[in-house]
Structure 1
Amino acid sequence: MQLKTIDLHSHILPDFDDGSQSVEISLAMLRREAEQGVDVVCATSHYYAHHEGIDAFCARRAEALERLSAAMTDDLPQVLPAAEVTYFSHMEERDLEPLCIRDTRTLMLEMPFTDWTDLQVETVEALVLDRRYDVVLVHPERFCFSKSNKHKLKQLAQLPIGLQVNAGSLLRWGTRRLALDLLQMAHMPLLGSDCHNLTSRPPNLKEGRKVVMQKLGEDFLTKIDLNGEWVTIPTTEAP
């Protein structure tokens, strides 16, 4: 069976967050994804609990996806609504399923850009072990600026969670070693472009996949693809 190539992290919805600013840019980004062999793109728009409620976010997301879908052609990748959920207090008490990748329990979680507290780690543990979300920590390499966070990340990596490294981190010499180490450390290694536009943060999954192939091998890249399919498969179809 041919595995799908999935870009798990993008800001491709038009005029929604700090990503694409128009339908035209979104379409151009999707064409770039298609040229790189991508079959599925997860639209992980930023969700900030302090900014808007979940229902309002989902309604706004549906409208943006509808505008994009109306302009899409059949040769473009499938777009799955999702969210990049920024950590917030007591999130383990909320119904977060509407923010998950469509029809899954996969929660794409962005941790704080500060030293993490024990309580924040416990919240992630509760999301995984008590609430049974399939948590994916996005771009963990961006949080490894302190020994404390590195230690807590290793602690979280013992859980059945995914670590989604950004392709761009594999392309920069200063972050490549860390990104490769995190992929190897992960219970469920995953890859995304975190694309925002066509210039400073363009779709670059193909280049990142090439680095994984060169440094970690074809079997490891297949593992990433299998994990990508697993976290995007609808729960009704899961084995």
Structure 2
Amino acid sequence: MSQNLVDLHCHILPGIDDGARDLNISMALLRKEIQDGVAGIVFTPHFHYERISVEDFAAKRRAAFLQVAKAAKETGLPLAAKLGAEVYFTTALPSLDLRALAFAKSNYILIEFPTTCHPAGIDETLYAVRQRGYTPILAHVERYPFVTEDPTLLYNWVSVGCLAQINASGLVREGRTAHWLLKLLEWNLVHLLCTDCHSIDGRPPNLKAGYSKLPTPIARRLRRNSIEVYLGDELVPPEPTKPQYRFGRWV
């Protein structure tokens, strides 16, 4: 797996969230992942504490996964996959069954913040999750306005043991977002590159294209990080640099 790609954040499972609507779309997404050289996938459907119990979510996730696994076997597609979740932030998170939400056979858990507001209680909740022995992976950190406005927030979370993930689409589209992502990488505030794919046309698998936009040493490091997380190994990232605001911009 050392020369292959790993996608730790995707919405390929059918009919469980706003990702693939049915099995046909799931298989099209899976074929594109494999064409791009993806050898390992963590399926991470959305989990909202306020909408569904952990038990019901796990049952629906397993049923959707079994559909994909059966179809992959019948069509001869190689499938090395694990189950996880993209957990919507709630201060109740530390009290939930985190084992059922974390990436299978690991202590990594993918957490998504709202994009419309800066929720209260982030620091305390992440601390409590870490105290339970889990490593939070902060999903698509480029999408949160409060982080863009003040990246020292991300620095603080990374400094205490959280990991940060970005979507390949931000690099592929280039422009302002890509420039910002490269700054975050320069500060060692990003550790993982994923697709967050939902559909073939709107939000497709694009991990190969995303890696192609990165300097080779950074791409190599992020690829290795994803493999370590997939395998459940402990990831020890480099020391982050705290962004400084000078002359109207972050440096």
CA contact (8 A) 1:105 1:133 kept: yes
Displacement of 1:40 in angstroms is 1.1
Q: What residue is the counterpart of 2:88 in the other structure?
A: 86
Counterpart in the other structure of 2:145: 144
Partner deviation per Cα, 1:190-215 (whole Å, 9 max, x = no partner): 01001001101011111100001xxx
Letter in 2 for 1:33: E
Alpha-carbon RMSD across the aligned residues, in angstroms, is: 2.1
Would the aligned equivalents of 1:160 and 1:188 in 2 still touch at CA under 8 Å? no
Structure 1: segments with no counterpart, 5+ residues: none
1:9 and 2:9 matched: yes
Kept in 1: contact 2:140–2:166 (CA 8 A):
yes
Residue 197 of structure 2 is matched in structure 1 by 195
1:62-211 equivalences in 2 (<5 Å) = 62-73=62-73, 74-117=76-119, 119-128=121-130, 130-145=131-146, 149-172=150-173, 173-186=175-188, 189-211=191-213
User: Is the contact between residue 139 and residue 164 of structure 1 (CA under 8 Å) also seen in structure 2?
Assistant: yes
What is the CA–CA distance in structure 2 between the aligned matches of 1:85 and 1:141, rounded to whole Å?
17
Q: CA deviation at 1:86?
A: 0.4
Q: Distance in 1 between matches of 2:150 and 2:134?
A: 22
For residues 136 and 230 of structure 1, the distance between their equivalents in structure 2, rounded to whole angstroms, comes to 13
The one-letter amino acid of 1:151's match is T
The 1:76–1:28 alpha-carbon spacing in structure 2 relative to 1, beyond 3 Å, is: farther
Identical amino acids, percent of aligned pairs: 30
In 2, the alpha carbon distance for the partners of 1:200 and 1:117 equals 28
Conserved in 2, the CA contact under 8 Å of 1:160 and 1:187?
no
| TM-fit CA distance, 1:46 | 0.2
Normalised by the length of structure 1, the TM-score is: 0.89
Q: Distance in 1 between matches of 2:82 and 2:45?
A: 11
CA shift at 1:231, angstroms? 1.3
Whichever residue aligns with residue 211 of structure 1, its letter is K
Checking the alignment, whether the CA contact within 8 Å between 1:161 and 1:188 is kept in structure 2 is no
Contact 1:171/1:211 (8 A) holds in 2: yes
Say which is worse superposed, 166-175 or 52-61, in terms of deviation.
Answer: 166-175
Instruction: Give the distance between the partners of 1:10 and 1:58, measured in 2 at CA.
Output: 16
Shift of 1:116: 2.8
- The 1:115/1:149 distance shift into structure 2, 3 A limit, reads farther
Instruction: Give the AA of the match of 2:4.
Output: K
- TM-score normalized by the length of structure 2: 0.85
Secondary structure of the equivalent of 1:198?
Answer: coil
